[in-house]
Every structure is written in C-alpha cells, then in structure tokens.
Amino acid sequence: MGRSPCCEKAHTNKGAWTKEEDDRLIAYIRAHGEGCWRSLPKSAGLLRCGKSCRLRWINYLRPDLKRGNFTPQEDELIIKLHSLLGNKWSLIAGRLAGRTDNEIKNYWNTHIRRKLLSRGIDPATHRPLNQEQSELAPAATTTTISFKQDEDHEDNKTVFGEINKDSKGGSISIERCPDLNLELTISPPHQPMIKKSSSLCFDCSLGLQNSKDCTCEINTAAGYDFMDLKTSVLDYRS
DNA sequence: AAAGTTGTCAACCGCGAATCT
DNA sequence: GAGATTCGCGGTTGACAACTT
C-alpha cells in the first residue's frame, strides 16, 4: 500500500525556526490548544509540516519547559532511570518536570555518557567497563524482567517475577542496577492507589530505601512506589 | 589570525503503534 | 477486518559555537 508522506514537502520550510514562526505557533496553540498537528500548520498559517510544529512546540516553546543546566540531582536521576528503562527517553522525560525527551537524549549523549565512561562505567550496561569482557560471556547477558500472575498470592497481584533473556513477548530489557528496588508490584484496579508521599528523601525517591544516606522515615518496601514507576513502567510494558 | 577539530543541540527522518474510516 | 491516516518515539544529522593548534 505504501506509506503516505507525513505532509506536503514541496511547500514547507525546513531548518531553524524564525521568531515569526514561533510567534505564530505559540499564538495558535494558545488560542486552540495542542493537537491535530497535521492540520495545524495550515490553520496557523505556517509553511511547516505538522511534525515539525509538534517538535518545535514540545521541545522548545512549551511554557512549562525548564531551560538551563541540569542539576546534579537530575543527572543522577537520569542515570538511575536509564539503568532501569534504557533509551526510553520519553519515559525518562516524564519523570523530570520541565525536561523533554530530546533534551535528555542530547544531554545523555553529550554529557552523561562521557561522565560514566570517565567513572569506568559502561553507559549502555551501567556496569564497570573492566567487567564487560568477562560478563559478556554467553550466559551472562542483559537481564530482562517480565510479569506473571502470582497464582499463589491470594489477592492475585501481578508481580515482578520472572527473569528472562528474551525481551519479546511482554517483557522488557532492563539493566542491572543492584541498588534500585525492582520489586515493583501492581494492584488490581479496584484497589486504591497508594499515595506517594511528598516527604521522601532523594534516595528513597530513587528506590534506594536501604541507602545509608536515606533521611526519611517512610521506608516500607511493600507500599513503595518508585517515582510512580510501579504503575507507569507497567503501563508502558502493557 | 586562520584553519582544523571537537562539542552541543535543534531539527529531521523513518518506523511502529494507535486511531480512524 | 483491512487499509489509510495520524501521532509519537528514538536514532541521526548538520549547523553553529567553542576550543586547540
């Protein structure tokens, strides 16, 4: 059948956006809201394709964007999340208010990768570089985790159980990160969501309940929700 | 000062998923 | 149910800036 082009390429601008184009896009979205990107350029009087408008808005013009340097806390959070999620930049961005997936991806490739390498850590696996050779032996590959229904459990919770090597069929590849709490659980719909405490220390917010640096008192593994990943990662996987 | 190299980041491209007809 | 359309994501590119020789 063939794929139709995302937009009419013949009469669209490409490359850097001008101030006027930005203003038009902002004004249009303020008046009409986001969405329907395909028809937006025409309606807004822009000679751009919808994709380009969407990207420009999301990555640069959105009013809630936090510009400026990443903080050390954000750095560490990105590293932790990357070790858990891999290159799922949009998911990682969802955990960093005001940051975009593109921004985090760029920051990872230009700063964090180098930072990890200088620490002797492989940015792809989050393991020490000198362990790579021995650990990449046939059996020792990326750890992947999938879900299964815990039939023994009386409330029939889905548990983070099986560890596979195959990332297909409902499981995702997840890198080893021993200090992260990966005992994520999901509750059946009728169960009320455990409210995330606002008073978690930074370590706990990363799932490091047993960290020596933990300064908060909410430390119960049972109800812990790592940055909402308990639900959002599961959502992603489903 | 000029040329070459490296780093940064906005923007593009292609693909798969989701949604619509 | 099948095909068409739209959206969103991740990888990559290229222009520009900063730095080095």
Question: Is residue A7 very low, low, confident or very high in pLDDT (cuts 50, 70, 90)?
Answer: low
pLDDT digits (tens, 9 = 90+) for A188-202: 333 333 334 444 555
pLDDT digits (tens, 9 = 90+) for A28-38: 998 888 878 88
Evaluate if the CB of A225 falls below 7 Å from strand C: no
- Measure CA to C1' and name the residue nearest B9: A106
Among chain A residues 27-56, those with CB within 7 Å of any atom of strand C: 35-39, 50-51, 54
| Cβ-based neighbours of A227, under 8 Å, separated by 6 or more | A81, A95, A205, A206, A207
Which nucleotide minimizes the distance between its C1' and the CA of A36? C6
CA of A21 to C1' of B21 (A): 33
pLDDT digits (tens, 9 = 90+) for A156-200: 333 333 333 333 333 333 444 444 443 333 333 333 333 344 445
pLDDT digits (tens, 9 = 90+) for A83-110: 888 889 999 998 888 899 999 999 998 8
Q: Are A97 and A74 within 8 A, CB to CB?
A: no
